[in-house]
Amino acid sequence: MDDRPAADASPGEHGTSRELPLEISDAVIRLHKQYVGRGPTRVRTYLNDDLVTCVLEGGFTQGERNLQAHGEHALIVENRRLLQGAAKDALVAAVEAILGRRVRAFMSAADPRQEMQVEAFVLAPRDEEWRRFRDKFEADFGSLTELALIVDDNRRYVDANRAACATLGVEHAELVGRRVEDFTPEGLRDQVPDMWSAFLRDGEQTGEYQLLSAGGDLHTLRYRAQADWARGFHLSVLAPAAEDSADCASGGCSTSPFQV
Amino acid sequence: MRDDTAVDMSDGPQLETPAHRSPLLEISNAMVGIHKRTFGRGPTKARTSVTGDLVVCLLEGGFTRAEETLAHSGHVDSVVQTRLRLHALAEEEMIATVEQIVGRTVRSVMSASRPDQDVQIEAFVLEADHG
């Protein structure tokens, strides 16, 4: 095995930025060096919705290897658990700072036989996180005639203004939790993951998009989307494509702070 | 394979029909069953994700009344220790189950619990797939 610390990262589900898992892996290596005296030789971080899992390889001390050779497996596991307890606050703070989300639970386990360790961070639900930003969203976008939608990292709708709910033909509560693909015509659904990856990479996106309402109506809309309008929450503002020039000519252009 | 599946187990493990057979659901169901037999109570919710060489099950609920009482009276550590010892008894079955479902060798299995937060994980690191 290569002895250099490797901060591998699996790309997060559905196009989450690769940088976040790498940052978490780096932080885990740094904190292990600080608390254990030796850092893992390799860390891979996986993001899946509200679960962050870091798989650590190597980095067990010579003392631990000697204990393992003498059958003291359980003692090493227990010591590692206690060490992780001591490092818990720092690990949780690092992950919360990197993701901008609250960690609900932290768990750690070690397998000295394979020189592996796992750190798991269970994140607070997104709807709970979103409460911090709801008032601003409502003030800025709540009464607009344009559609305003908030989507999380996994392309799930977290919030929408009244115009968006009306156009999509759903109640607000019915929309929250559903995915972008659920309101995309079947022929375009396959393109969504690539568009989403490009959007997160570029930070913003504009163009035309077709939305399929719950009742089956197809709407062609201009949109402007901004990644991380609030950290981990992505904003799209949409307006009917046909109203474009006529509205502006008559002085009826968008009053949105995030103009389409 | 990269996906995740969440299942509500509050009414017991879900029964699958061939048309709905999913390896992730199979793993979730199997973990719920093993937990129930090993600890006396199964999780109420299980979600399995497979990404690269990692299979991870996030399990919620399923702590026994005695464990809850201990955890809420400041003895979280005692519950965690007991769970780890019991887990060691079920480890072989867990590994065999995951290997059979995903068709790959498990290199390492690690388990951790937080009875005060009502969550636990089972993490399986698979041997690298050179296929």
Q: What is the pLDDT of residues A20-44, one digit of tens each?
A: 899 999 999 999 999 988 889 999 9
Q: What is the pLDDT of residues A36-73, one digit of tens each?
A: 888 899 999 999 888 999 999 998 988 899 998 998 88
How many CB atoms within 10 Å of residue A197?
Answer: 15
Asked if the ipTM is above 0.85, the reply is no
**Cβ(B35)–Cβ(B53) under 8 Å?**
no
Determine the Cα–Cα distance for residues A134 and A144; give it in Å rounded to an integer. Answer: 15
Determine the Cα–Cα distance for residues A175 and A227; give it in Å rounded to an integer. Answer: 20
Q: What is the pLDDT of residues A197-211, one digit of tens each?
A: 899 889 999 999 999
* Interchain proximity B123–A106, CB inside 8 Å: no
**Cβ(A61)–Cβ(A32) under 8 Å?**
no
Q: Chain A within 8 Å of B86 (Cβ-Cβ)?
A: no
**Cβ(A203)–Cβ(A197) under 8 Å?**
no
Determine the Cα–Cα distance for residues B32 and B25; give it in Å rounded to an integer. Answer: 11
Of residues A53, A81, A110, nearest to B54 (C-beta)? A53
Determine the Cα–Cα distance for residues A52 and A175; give it in Å rounded to an integer. Answer: 26
* Interchain proximity A53–B123, CB inside 8 Å: yes
Edge-to-edge order in the sheet of strand B106-114: B3-8, B45-51, B54-60, B119-126, B106-114
For an interface test with B, give the residue of A118, A119, A126 to mutate (most B CBs within 10 A): A118
* Interchain proximity B54–A113, CB inside 8 Å: no
Distance of residue B60 Cα from the nearest chain A Cα, in angstroms: 11
Q: Chain A within 8 Å of B105 (Cβ-Cβ)?
A: no
Please name which of B72, B67, B97 lies closest in space to residue B82, comparing C-alpha atoms. B67
Determine the Cα–Cα distance for residues A184 and A200; give it in Å rounded to an integer. Answer: 19
